[in-house]
Amino acid sequence: MAVKNPFKTTLIAPCGMNCAICMAFLRQKNRCGGCYSPNRLCSIHCIISACEKVRDRYHHTCKDFPCKRLKQLDDRYRKKYGMSMIANLEAIRKEGIRAFVKTERERWTCKACRGTIDVHHGKCAICGKERE
């Protein structure tokens, strides 16, 4: 069973991705633990978390923010999934990480069952209801 309320500050990746809404975190088999977890999966190929300038901090603290790599990733996520990592990082900078996580919880919680909406599939990981 998927985690019903996984929203935590420790699940916000350096690139601004909320790992709690990622299909790799929400799936049952071969589950990723998030970017700061020892059982993370995306960091193997993630160009942002591999960057020497980021090193365990949110990318918005980097002097090159937003860098070319982040802009490319952000562009793909905005077009395919309706989510902006750059906007996430700017919200963290402006409002703070706790306020951002609270907003994410409201934005990505299924209204039908209180499960988590999978950003990659646009539906609840528990009941399968499409995102409204």
Confidence of residue 4 (pLDDT cuts 50, 70, 90): low
pLDDT of residue 83 exceeding 60: yes
Confidence of residue 117 (pLDDT cuts 50, 70, 90): very high
Q: Determine whether 44 is exposed, middle or buried from the number of CB atoms within 10 Å of its CB (0-12, 13-18, 19+).
A: exposed
Q: What is the pTM of this model?
A: 0.84
Domain positions in the chain are 9-124
